[in-house]
């Protein structure tokens, strides 16, 4: 293979290293690589891999574990720069620092993904095998110049993420959910399920949780809708947040939970912890998958049942996706008003159908009219979210469950978002409007001592605006 120096000289220029500078990482929706550039990138990976192995030989792992993180990081940097100098690689000072940083990331972090994780504008990282890494930024998906050396390199990073979270992933269990220390949600799929190399998806969350003014500023809803949502949460309405994948359901649920008074005891239940409640009296529970012997699983339904014994004022379920829906509905019906959850559905009517289907997964046999009556008694409002064609996320409807007519659940829309057109850049233009219907729940809001401006329900006085 030759010396490191000869391999580096074979590049002919320093383009390969520049591919890894953070400010040049995103290259748009298409990437055209010349064969020469591909070879240079491959040479870079080979050299970095060799230096990585030399670093591991020089590190005393027991000593390293005893060092403070900052001191360990500095020592690794010095070792990397020393090895680069020994190899006499023709790099300037900036390029040496970039290479040393990449080597640090390989040992302490998540390798090539570290620059992406440091970029706060990225909301999603999608790895489709070792050679294709996409990101979502401001609602748009883009291909990046990030690469892994090979599938084994990617598998090593996946194993590092999963093992830190106390999960496992292998051929016997080729799918895993986990989370990063910053709260980001991770899903990994490997062979034999993933055919073109391992797949890794990381859903990022803001370090500082969004608040309702942020949603208003982003035109995700208007001020009247925000005031109404604040009132129904404080008045202990049971709320289901409905929407498609990536429509902002969890973000909205997190914001709605911020309206819960600080003196109430809240139990949160999630498959993978994502909620960031700011109240002081919060108990966070997370379901657990089976171990390598297919034992020890704690499903969401068991958590919901157990939470009822923990004296909750409110129960917040990150998402109902199975038989736990029956326990959730019963909790809403038996003294735990103000509980909230999310469900996958494209509109409010579909959300009701989804709840019915999930009820069937509980194993209980209940006549359809009785089941629908259970839903009507439990759920007060469905808040619908959507990801628009331009990538923005909006609250497109707030609907109140009003009762039953025969075997049909009745509801009424309180606020809607009406799409009007799109501009030359493809941005969706529409308007948030009240329907003119005063919700039945308004009386309970008033009895709770909250002030509700009746003008917000009148279309002509609502101040609806084009966004």
Determine the Cα–Cα distance for residues 60 and 76; give it in Å rounded to an integer: 11
Confirm if 25 and 115 have CB atoms less than 8 A apart. Answer: yes
Determine the Cα–Cα distance for residues 198 and 184; give it in Å rounded to an integer: 19
Angle subtended at Cα 106 by Cα 100 and Cα 112, rounded to the nearest 5 degrees: 90
- The phi-psi region of residue 12 (left if phi > 0; otherwise alpha if psi is between -120 and 50; otherwise beta) is left
How would you write the pLDDT of the chain (467 residues) with one tens digit per residue? 444 444 444 333 443 344 434 333 333 333 344 444 555 555 666 676 666 666 666 666 556 666 676 666 677 777 777 777 777 676 667 777 777 777 776 777 788 888 898 888 898 999 999 989 999 988 789 999 888 888 988 998 898 888 887 778 888 889 988 888 877 889 999 999 998 899 999 988 777 778 899 999 999 999 999 999 999 999 999 999 999 988 889 899 999 999 999 999 999 998 877 788 888 899 999 888 776 667 778 888 889 889 988 999 999 998 888 888 888 888 888 778 899 999 999 999 999 999 999 887 777 778 888 899 999 999 999 999 999 888 889 999 999 999 999 889 999 999 999 988 777 777 888 899 999 999 999 999 999 999 888 889 988 644 444 44
395: β partners: 385
Determine the Cα–Cα distance for residues 343 and 366; give it in Å rounded to an integer: 21
**How do 133-137 and 140-143 pair as beta strands?**
antiparallel
Question: Tokens 């925000």 map to which residue?
Answer: 226
Query: What is the DSSP secondary-structure string of 321-382?
Result: -STHHHHHHHHHHTT-TT-EEEEE-SSHHHHHHHHHHHHHTTT----HHHHHHHHHHH--EE
Determine the Cα–Cα distance for residues 374 and 361; give it in Å rounded to an integer: 16
Domains and CATH numbers, the chain: 1-108 (no CATH), 109-204 (3.30.450.90), 212-461 (3.40.50.300)
- Please give the structure tokens belonging to residue 235: 């008045």
- Please give the structure tokens belonging to residue 170: 């292998």
By the 10 Å C-beta count (0-12 exposed, 13-18 middle, 19+ buried), 53 is classed as exposed
> How many Å separate Cα 383 from the centre of its chain?
19
Count of other CB atoms within 10 angstroms of residue 166 = 10
The residues, ordered by sequence, that sit 6+ positions from 288 with a Cβ below 8 Å of its Cβ are 296, 297, 298
Per-residue confidence (pLDDT) for residue 295, from 0 to 100 = 77
- Please give the structure tokens belonging to residue 339: 């509980």
The residues, ordered by sequence, that sit 6+ positions from 451 with a Cβ below 8 Å of its Cβ are none
The residues, ordered by sequence, that sit 6+ positions from 390 with a Cβ below 8 Å of its Cβ are 139, 422, 425, 426, 427, 428
Here the contacts of 14-21 (C-beta below 8 Å, separation 24 or greater) are 14/91, 14/92, 14/95, 15/40, 16/40, 16/41, 16/43, 16/44, 17/44, 17/91, 17/95, 17/98, 17/99, 19/44, 19/145, 20/44, 20/98, 20/102, 20/112, 20/115, 20/145, 20/146, 21/98
Per-residue confidence (pLDDT) for residue 464, from 0 to 100 = 44
Per-residue confidence (pLDDT) for residue 20, from 0 to 100 = 39
DSSP state of 26: B
Among candidate residues 39, 32, 52, the one with its CA nearest the CA of residue 8:
39
187: β partners: 177, 201
- Please give the structure tokens belonging to residue 268: 């949160």
Per-residue confidence (pLDDT) for residue 402, from 0 to 100 = 95
Confirm if 200 and 158 have CB atoms less than 8 A apart. Answer: yes
Per-residue confidence (pLDDT) for residue 366, from 0 to 100 = 81
Per-residue confidence (pLDDT) for residue 62, from 0 to 100 = 59
DSSP state of 466: B
The model's pLDDT over 130-173, given as tens digits with 9 standing for 90+, comes to 989 999 988 789 999 888 888 988 998 898 888 887 778 888 88
Confirm if 344 and 245 have CB atoms less than 8 A apart. Answer: yes
- Please give the structure tokens belonging to residue 198: 């391992």
Per-residue confidence (pLDDT) for residue 78, from 0 to 100 = 74
Using DSSP, state whether 73 is helix, strand or coil: helix
């Amino acid at each position: 293979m030759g010396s490191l120096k000869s391999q580096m000289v074979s590049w002919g220029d320093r383009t390969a290293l520049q591919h890894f500078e953070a400010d040049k990482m995103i290259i748009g929706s298409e990437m055209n690589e010349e064969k020469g550039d591909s070879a240079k990138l491959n040479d870079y990976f080979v050299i970095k891999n060799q230096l990585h192995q030399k670093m591991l030989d020089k590190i005393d792992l027991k000593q390293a574990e005893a060092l403070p993180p900052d001191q360990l990081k500095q020592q690794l940097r010095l070792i990397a720069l020393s090895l680069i100098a020994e190899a006499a690689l023709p790099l300037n000072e900036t390029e040496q620092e970039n290479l040393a940083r990449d080597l640090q990331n390989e040992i302490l972090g998540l390798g090539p993904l570290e620059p992406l994780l440091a970029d706060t504008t990225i909301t999603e990282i999608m790895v489709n095998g070792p050679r294709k890494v996409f990101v979502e930024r401001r609602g748009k998906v883009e291909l990046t110049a990030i690469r892994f050396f090979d599938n084994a390199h990617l598998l090593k990073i996946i194993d590092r993420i999963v093992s830190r979270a106390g999960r496992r992933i292998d051929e016997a269990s080729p799918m895993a959910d986990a989370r990063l220390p910053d709260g980001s949600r991770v899903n990994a799929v490997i062979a034999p399920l993933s055919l073109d190399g391992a797949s890794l998806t990381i859903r990022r969350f803001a370090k500082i949780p969004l608040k309702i003014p942020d949603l208003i500023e982003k035109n995700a809803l208007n001020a009247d809708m925000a005031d109404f949502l604040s009132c129904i949460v404080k008045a202990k309405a049971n709320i289901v947040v409905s929407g498609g994948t990536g429509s902002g359901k969890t973000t909205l649920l997190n914001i709605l939970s911020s309206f819960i008074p600080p003196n109430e005891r809240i139990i949160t239940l999630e498959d993978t912890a994502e909620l960031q409640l700011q109240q002081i009296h919060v108990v966070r529970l997370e379901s657990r998958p089976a171990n390598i012997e297919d034992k020890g699983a704690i499903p969401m339904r068991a958590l919901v049942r157990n939470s009822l014994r923990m004296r909750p004022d409110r129960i917040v379920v990150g998402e109902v996706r199975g038989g736990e829906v029956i326990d959730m509905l019963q909790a809403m019906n038996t003294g735990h008003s103000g509980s909230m959850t999310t469900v996958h559905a494209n509109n409010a009517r579909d959300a009701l159908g989804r709840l019915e289907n999930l009820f069937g997964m509980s194993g209980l046999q209940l006549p359809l009219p009785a089941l629908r009556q259970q839903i009507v008694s439990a759920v007060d409002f469905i808040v619908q979210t959507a990801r628009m064609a331009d990538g923005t996320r909006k609250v497109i409807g707030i609907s109140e469950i009003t009762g039953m007519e025969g075997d049909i659940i009745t509801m009424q829309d309180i606020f809607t978002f009406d799409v009007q057109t799109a501009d030359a850049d493809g941005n969706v233009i529409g308007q948030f409007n009240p329907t003119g219907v005063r919700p039945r729940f308004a009386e309970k809001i008033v009895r709770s001592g909250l002030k509700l401006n009746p003008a917000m329900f009148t279309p002509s006085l609502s101040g609806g605006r084009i966004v």
